[in-house]
Every structure is written in C-alpha cells, then in structure tokens.
Amino acid sequence: DAKTTQPPSMDCAEGRAANLPCNHSTISGNEYVYWYRQIHSQGPQYIIHGLKNNETNEMASLIITEDRKSSTLILPHATLRDTAVYYCIVRVNNFNKFYFGSGTKLNVKP
C-alpha cells in the first residue's frame, strides 16, 4: 500500500471550511484514496473516496491533484461535532489490506 502523510493537527473556526491535506506521492494508478474520521473512542466513520476525479457527497468534498500525488478533504462548514481524527488511506485493488496512517487531529473551535 502507498503510504500517506498528514499534518498531525489543525485548527478551524466553527462555520468556516476545513481543508485537510494528504500527501500520497507513491500512489499507483489503481489505488483509491479514502477518508475516514474517528471521533473519540468510536469506530472509524467513512467520509468519502475517489480515484482520479474530484468527489462530493453530503459530508465533504475530495479534491485529488491531477498527478494524484496529493489530495485535500474539504468540510465546507465545520461544526464542533466535526472535531475528530481524520485519516487518509490509499487502497489498492485486489488487495486485502486497509492501512491507516497517523491521521490529522482537527480541532473545531467556537
């Protein structure tokens, strides 16, 4: 699996957009980028995933650079309940493993 690099922590003001970066410079052509978050002591929660194109759902947007070596998760209007650890993961097709990187602790402040 390609490795991911994320900043250990970020702050965001409530109501503002939170932009969480992820570097995956060794990603291969068939590897998907996944984002999960984990609120204190709960199970990881799926947010969004993509391969090449930008993606949007009701929770967030995922922007993947054209060379696919990095991506950004965007929470458009962060709330206090978005305070969590956010994990960026790459997953190769036909491969059994889903490895977590170190993640980014997002602190949303009033």
**Binders of another protein: how many residues, by CB under 8 A?**
27
Q: Which of residues 73-92 bind another protein (CB under 8 A)?
A: 87, 91-92
Choosing from 103, 104, 106, 108, the residue that interacts with another protein (CB under 8 A) is 103
Give strand pairing partners of 32: 91
Rg (CA), the chain: 13
Spatial separation of the C-alpha atoms in residues 63 and 99, rounded to whole Å: 21
Residue 10 contacts another protein per CB under 8 A: no
Question: Which residue, among 17, 7, 39, 80, has the nearest Cα to 47 in the 3D structure?
Answer: 39
Residue 59 contacts another protein per CB under 8 A: no
Residues that bind another protein (CB under 8 A): 30-32, 34, 36, 41-46, 49, 51, 87, 91-103
